[in-house]
Amino acid sequence: MHEVALAEDLINLIRSELEDRNISPGESEICINVEVGGMSCVVVESFEFAFRAVSEGTGLEAARLNCEEQPLTIKCMNCNFEGEVEEDIPICPRCESGETEVTAGDEFLLKSIEIGE
Amino acid sequence: MEEPQVVEINSKVLKANEEAAGENRKIFAGANLKGVFNLIGSPGAGKTSVLEQVVPHLETIGLIEGDIATSRDAQRVAKLGARTVQINTSGACHLDARMVSEVFPDFSLEGIEYLFIENVGNLVCPTGYDLGEDHKIVVISLPEGEDKAAKYPAIFRKSSLCVLNKVDLAAACEIDIERMKGDIRSVNPDLKIQEVSCKTGEGINELVERFKKLGSGEN
């Protein structure tokens, strides 16, 4: 359950981005877009729950949180397969090699913030 | 109504942790250490037992010990001559770089050759948190089951060495060690695997050599 710590990190990151732009979080409609990689060790439902709890009193209580799940994507060094894998295990689905490079899906990212009136 | 303003960020949520890890790395680099190892494994895998076995064979070990509560593990390893400091996370399931940074400067690294950071017992949460270490070391034990690598691939991908502990229990646990190693290698073919038993001492000398090799930049 490190989702609580991650929710705190995300809120701090957003507040500092908004502060840089002289935007007060409570005064605008905000939508937060995050990308959750399949191998990022983050559980979306737990994170959404944690975010709601942690956002209390931060001005981001009413913010919309949009979690986009990014499936684990690899490039196989053995057979050159490129694409998504099943169950987020970095093994090539074509030749079963583990000699793979992760090309997407191992990060937890703040992609963008949408700020309305 | 106006269109919302879209601010592109594209930043890791763990950015603040990574910055703190970078600061830790500077402290480590300035301290003449041969290696900094972040030990990650489930509760009961034997992280502390492995340290107890290794400490007498390596010159001057420092240990930053992470636990939710108590300083029992730090005390166990301190008895054997390591310089230790305990971090209690008060509920948090992992160490982060800032918690580690807070032990300095009170915890002196002078004269220490190998610094171990024993993470909170957990195979998931500590994986994403860089502490500034040179290498992550995953510690697993046979009674946990054969399929850990497939179930928790991230930590096996990010580690430089896998310590496979409690090999003396293979028969009792009905575990085929070769198959277990095959599963680990299928997730990360480059991962070095060292079988050990902290009970019988099997594999401990080899493990010590592996830490020395990692410290000297060999793998």
Task: Report yes or no: A98 at the B interface, CB cutoff 8 Å.
Answer: yes
Cβ pair A9:B14 closer than 8 A: yes
On the question of pLDDT at A14 being above 70, the answer is yes
Q: What is the per-residue pLDDT for B1?
A: 56
A106 CB neighbours in chain B (<8 A) are 154, 157
Give the helix ranges, DSSP H, for B10-162: 15-29, 47-54, 72-78, 97-101, 148-151, 153-158
Instruction: Report mean pLDDT in 10-residue bins for chain B, 219 residues.
Output: 85 96 97 96 98 94 95 94 94 94 95 97 95 98 94 95 98 95 94 98 98 89
- Give Cα B37 distance to the centre of its chain: 6
On the question of pLDDT at A113 being above 70, the answer is yes
Cβ pair B153:A10 closer than 8 A: no
pLDDT above 70 coverage of chain A, percent: 99
Residue pair A34/B13 in contact by the 8 Å Cβ criterion:
yes
DSSP track, B19-52: HHHHHHHHHHHTTT-SEEEEEEE-TTS-HHHHHH
Nearest by CB: B13 against A99, A110, A116: A110
Is the four-CA dihedral B93, A113, A68, A96 of positive or negative sign? Answer: negative
Residue pair B29/B109 in contact by the 8 Å Cβ criterion:
no
The C-alpha of A30 sits at a distance from chain B's nearest C-alpha, in angstroms, of 9
Cβ pair A6:B94 closer than 8 A: no
Which of A1, A2, A3, A111 to mutate to test binding with chain B, by most B CBs within 10 Å of its CB? A2
B13 CB neighbours in chain A (<8 A) are 6, 9-10, 13, 34, 108-110
Q: Is the peptide bond before B105 cis (omega within 30 degrees of 0)?
A: yes
Q: What is the per-residue pLDDT for B162?
A: 98
- Chain A residue with minimal CA distance to B10? A111
User: What is the mean pLDDT of the segment spanning A16-42?
Assistant: 92
Q: What is the per-residue pLDDT for B219?
A: 62
On the question of pLDDT at A28 being above 90, the answer is no
Place A117 in a pLDDT band, splitting at 50, 70 and 90: confident
Report pLDDT digits (tens) over A77-107. 999 999 999 889 999 999 999 999 999 999 9
Residue pair A114/B6 in contact by the 8 Å Cβ criterion:
yes
Cβ pair B5:A114 closer than 8 A: yes
How many Å apart are CA A97 and CA A91, to the nearest integer? 6
- Give Cα B2 distance to the centre of its chain: 51
State the count of interchain CB pairs (< 8 A) between A and B.
102
Q: What is the per-residue pLDDT for B109?
A: 97
Task: Report yes or no: A58 at the B interface, CB cutoff 8 Å.
Answer: no
Residue pair B111/B14 in contact by the 8 Å Cβ criterion:
no
pTM: 0.94
Closest Cα partner for B49 from B168, B179, B159, B213? B168
